Amino acid sequence: MYPANGADRVWAIQGKDSIEMININGEYFLRAIHPGYWQISVEAYHPFRNVQFNSGDIQPGFDKDLGEIRLQK
C-alpha cells in the first residue's frame, strides 16, 4: 500500500463473506480463505480515494501477491 498509512481498512469480499485483512507496516495479509475469486476493497483515509478491484483466482495452498496498491487523491 502506498502510502503505507493511507488506508483505514482493507477487506476481501466473496459473495456474502467478508474478511478484514491484517495490516503489518502497510502490507495487508489474510490467512485461510476459501479458494475462488475475491473482491478487494480499500477504505482510504482522506484525502485518498477508496479502491476496489478483483484479486484474480485464489488457489488453495498458494500465496497470492496483489502487488503494490497506490492510493490516488
53 contacts 71 by C-beta, under 8 angstroms: no
Give pLDDT, residue 37.
94
User: Average pLDDT for consecutive 10-residue bins of the chain (73 residues)?
Assistant: 92 94 87 89 97 92 88 95
Give the integer Cα–Cα distance in Å for 33 and 54: 15
Assigned C-alpha cell, 1: 500500500
Give pLDDT, residue 25.
83
Amino acid at 40: I
Give pLDDT, residue 41.
97
Give pLDDT, residue 49.
97
Give pLDDT, residue 1.
87
Which residues does residue 58 pair with via DSSP β-bridges, in sequence order?
A: 36
**Domain ranges in the chain?**
7-58
Residue 50 CA, distance from chain mean position: 11
Assigned C-alpha cell, 6: 493511507
Give pLDDT, residue 63.
84
